[in-house]
Chains A and B, each alone.
Chain A
Amino acid sequence: MIEVKNLHFTYSTGIEALNGINLTIDDGEFLAVMGQNGAGKTTLVKHFNGLLKPTTGEVLVDGISTRELSVAKLARNVGFVFQNPDHQLFSETVEDEIAFALKNFGFEENVIKKQVDWALNLLDIVQYRKTSPFMLSGGERKRVALASILAWDPKVVILDEPTIGQDHQQKEKLQQFILQLNAQKKTVVVVTHDVEFVAECNPRVLVMNEGKILSEGLAEKILTNKELIEQASIVPPQITQIFLELIDLGLPTDVIDVHEATKILLDRLRKNS
């Protein structure tokens, strides 16, 4: 469980990035953090594994203040997948890349081997085991980065902009994968601008604006609240936009799921015919 208590954070440049955040993330929860650029999303999640320490206030991970633990200690439970895989890949082979963190955490040799195999299979990159990560495509590099985090099986997984720069098919796979992680009782925190992605996953949504929490709740409540999301520079999902336009037909305005939308429209057409 991650508890954030009246968190304020000011960068050394004097920029006040977080301004009194209160938040609790339960074990096994799926949370999407949204908001415009500079709203403080990444700054907030960087507190969860101790990369940033609160200026004032407190962040507790499983009851222990992040101030008291090193990033390396916290990272054992809280995995953080950075936005750009090029910021972390450095090894000669994909295999070594994935083993890097496991070695840092002091796992036994045979456990490392087992976990690397497991992660390679999980992300479907077994065939690249001996390839240099620099030779892979963008999507594949992203998967290697993801594998290198999941390999140590952290309880909490934070993903910063996971869908950026991915083609539709990759995105679909990634989405299935993230939902699967959550289904396995992992806490998943996603920082994203991608409304369609959030709409399809339907997690709990946290909307941030200028270092504060603007609102939070289920995706279908938040993403259909036009005033609220406009304030945070978010455009509603396309299906919601259509339904909002068709308000004259008496269609519901809180639809974010395409399948649900189809069902409503079909029911309506059948009734009319």
Chain B
Amino acid sequence: MSVFEGFKFRTVTSIIHKLDPRIKFFFVTVLFVMAILFNTLPALIVLFFIPLPFVFLAKVNRQWLRSLRGAVFLAVFIFATNFIIGYFYPNQSTEIVGSVDTLVEYIIILERSTAMTLRFVVLIASFSIFFLTTSPDHLGLALQQSHIPYEFCFAFTTAVRFVPVLADEAQTIMDAQKARGLELERGNFLKRVRNYIPILIPLIVNAIRRSLELAEAMESRAWGASEKRTNLYVLKLKRADYILAAVSVLMLTIAIFIWIYIPIPSLTQLLSL
């Protein structure tokens, strides 16, 4: 469940926490777009380092690292899939002609798989900064002020708000079933997948039950009674927000420029193997 750690908000205040969520989201989206634009290892390594100062400024290094650690399993999976597919169909994604036989060709496949994995890590790394430093309330406010219908904003913030609750609940359920002799790590692959049924069923049943209760509680508090909602807090852009917005636009422009005019070589080409 540790992959959720990165999406759990904790009340800390820092420069990053005080930034307008809309701008922060824009910044993270720029990182996202850049990670999609470039697919060579050197470019992605650079991209990996861009969000690091934010992590330190926001003082969320521990939680951030934990969410990266939680992503290890998926990262390994992505690496393996890319490597296997690259090995069997090398002509689709690389310039290799024919099948993979020389050492250089192996290295090319290896580099490409690493790049794809790093791309995933960059995405997790940047988005978890956003969620670690933005309170669900702020997020909802940002959505509302972006003229998204309140029903959608509410559904979204509620979903985000319940991620840690579900993660906690999953842990309790796991404990309860382990106390009845369930061994998650036992058996072959299929058996291991089946081992999760006793955990998933209570989790899903409870989630549905809770959503019905939530709906009732909302109805009884006159959900949707007034057409026009007002807010106690209103988001306003400050100087730091403008700076971050400018930095994001600049990064995006440079990235697009490089993408069009300067092809970034892969590590293998750089070392002219």
Residues on the A chain within 8 Å of B253, using CB: none
Write the A78-97 contact mask toward B (1 if CB under 8 angstroms, else 0): 01101010111110000000
Q: Complex: how many Å from CA A148 to CA B179?
A: 11
- A88 and B205 in contact, given A72-B182, A100-B198, A104-B182 (Cβ under 8 angstroms): no
In contact, B180 and A76 (Cβ under 8 angstroms): no
**Min CB–CB distance B211 → chain A (angstroms):** 14
Residues on the A chain within 8 Å of B175, using CB: 46, 51, 82
Residues on the B chain within 8 Å of A104, using CB: 180-183
Write the B206-220 contact mask toward A (1 if CB under 8 angstroms, else 0): 100100000000000
In contact, A86 and B205 (Cβ under 8 angstroms): yes
Interface residues of A in 89-136 (CB under 8 A from B): 89-90, 100-101, 104-105, 134
Q: Which single member of B176, B183, B197, B209 contacts A88 (CB below 8 Å)?
A: B176
In contact, A75 and B181 (Cβ under 8 angstroms): yes
- Indicate whether B241 reaches chain A with its CB closer than 8 angstroms: no
Residues on the B chain within 8 Å of A84, using CB: 172
Write the A213-240 contact mask toward B (1 if CB under 8 angstroms, else 0): 0000000000000000000000000000
- A70 and B183 in contact, given A51-B175, A87-B202, A88-B173 (Cβ under 8 angstroms): yes
Q: Complex: how many Å from CA A149 to CA B176?
A: 10
Number of B positions contacting A (CB below 8 A):
19
In contact, B178 and A71 (Cβ under 8 angstroms): yes
The size class of the interface chain A forms with chain B is 20 to 34
Interface residues of B in 154-182 (CB under 8 A from A): 169, 172-173, 175-182
Write the residues of chain B forming the contact surface with A, with a CB cutoff of 8 angstroms: 169, 172-173, 175-183, 197-198, 201-202, 205-206, 209
Write the residues of chain A forming the contact surface with B, with a CB cutoff of 8 angstroms: 46, 49, 51, 70-72, 75-76, 79-80, 82, 84, 86-90, 100-101, 104-105, 134, 148-149, 152
17 interchain pairs (CB within 8 A)?
A49-B179, A51-B175, A51-B178, A70-B183, A72-B181, A75-B178, A75-B180, A75-B181, A86-B202, A87-B173, A88-B198, A89-B202, A100-B182, A104-B181, A134-B205, A149-B179, A152-B181
- Given contacts A72-B178, A86-B209, 6 further A-B pairs with CB under 8 A are A75-B178, A75-B181, A84-B172, A87-B169, A90-B197, A90-B201
